[in-house]
């Protein structure tokens, strides 16, 4: 199996081909996702919710992410793997360098940070030190206590403009990928069109360059609450492999997300 790289993801964007991605936390699922043709996997701090049973991502530590990154890498040696940098692990550039190095040494190809232009110096420093960065704008789960809950971001014109400006600034700083979470579809389309780097949406419509879902949501395992932007692909599948394949196909053919999964 040929290893996926950021150059490959850039080529998909340039060719107008959609990127399919998913969270992964262990070797078994990572191996299955890779075999099905997933473009990349994210070792998300969502493991705090779906693995550890916490009410938010805040309790997750860098050691937690490093452990699960190692597991995913062992299951999918050639996959493109992004590791989340958890809450307060990049409060200063120096913190970010040390913690990102730990995640890269655990097997990540890239690290993901939540936040806007306050991260410029950190992203520049990581890039200069050979650590690729995925930025994350829109709904920021690590900031849920400041945001007052899990709410759609960027509906007001000023907030939308600010999000666009942050996206452009982070790209200029060296970010090579961007995740947009829970933003109106028009804003997501505008940002995707203006950025040269791939933009991956979750609750951001299908005009982004690709999609990502938490694997437990995509497989219908989250019985407590199913976000509007999620589709249970196990509903019409007779196996997990079939559900994963259906998800990738739906992203590639742009049948997911559908109208009922987007925010306006």
Q: Which residues are known binding-site members for Mg(2+)? A: 45, 84, 114
Of the candidates 224, 220, 222, the residue with the CA atom closest to the CA atom of residue 234: 220
Active site amino acids: 181
Residues 186-198 as b/e (b if ≥16 CB within 10 A, e otherwise) read ebbbbbbeebebb
Helix (H) / strand (E) element for 43: namely strand 40-43
Q: What Rg, from alpha-carbon coordinates, does the chain have?
A: 17
Residue 112, strand partner residues = 84, 134
Of the candidates 72, 92, 91, the residue with the CA atom closest to the CA atom of residue 82: 72
Token code pair at residue 241 = 């492999």
- Alpha carbons 137 and 125: distance in angstroms, whole number: 19
Binding-site members are 45-46, 84, 112, 114
Give whole-number Cα distances, 65 to 68, 91, 110, 216, in Å: 5, 17, 13, 17
- Alpha carbons 148 and 203: distance in angstroms, whole number: 18
């Amino acid at each position: 199996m040929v290893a996926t790289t950021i150059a490959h993801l850039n080529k998909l964007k340039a060719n107008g081909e959609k990127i399919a991605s998913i969270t992964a936390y262990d070797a078994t699922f990572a191996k299955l996702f890779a075999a099905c043709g997933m473009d990349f996997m994210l070792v998300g701090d969502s493991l705090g919710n779906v693995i550890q049973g916490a009410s938010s991502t805040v309790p997750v530590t860098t050691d937690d992410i490093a452990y699960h990154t190692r597991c995913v890498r062992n299951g999918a040696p050639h996959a493109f793997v992004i590791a989340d940098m958890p809450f307060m692990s990049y409060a200063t550039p120096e913190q970010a360098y040390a913690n990102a190095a730990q995640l890269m040494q655990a097997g990540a190809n890239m690290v993901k940070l939540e936040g806007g232009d306050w991260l410029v110096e950190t992203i520049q420093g990581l890039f200069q030190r050979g650590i690729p960065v995925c930025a994350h704008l829109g709904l920021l789960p690590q900031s849920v206590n400041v945001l007052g809950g899990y709410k759609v971001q960027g509906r007001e014109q000023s907030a939308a403009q600010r999000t666009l400006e942050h996206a452009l600034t982070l790209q200029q700083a060296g970010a090579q990928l961007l995740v947009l979470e829970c933003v109106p579809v028009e804003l997501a389309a505008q940002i995707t069109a203006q950025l040269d780097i791939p933009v991956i949406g979750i609750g951001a419509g299908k005009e982004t360059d690709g999609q990502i879902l938490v694997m437990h949501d995509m497989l219908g395992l989250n019985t407590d609450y199913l976000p509007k932007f999620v589709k249970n692909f196990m509903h019409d599948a007779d196996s997990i492999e079939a559900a994963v394949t259906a998800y990738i196909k739906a992203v590639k053919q742009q049948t997911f997300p559908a109208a009922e999964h987007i925010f306006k």
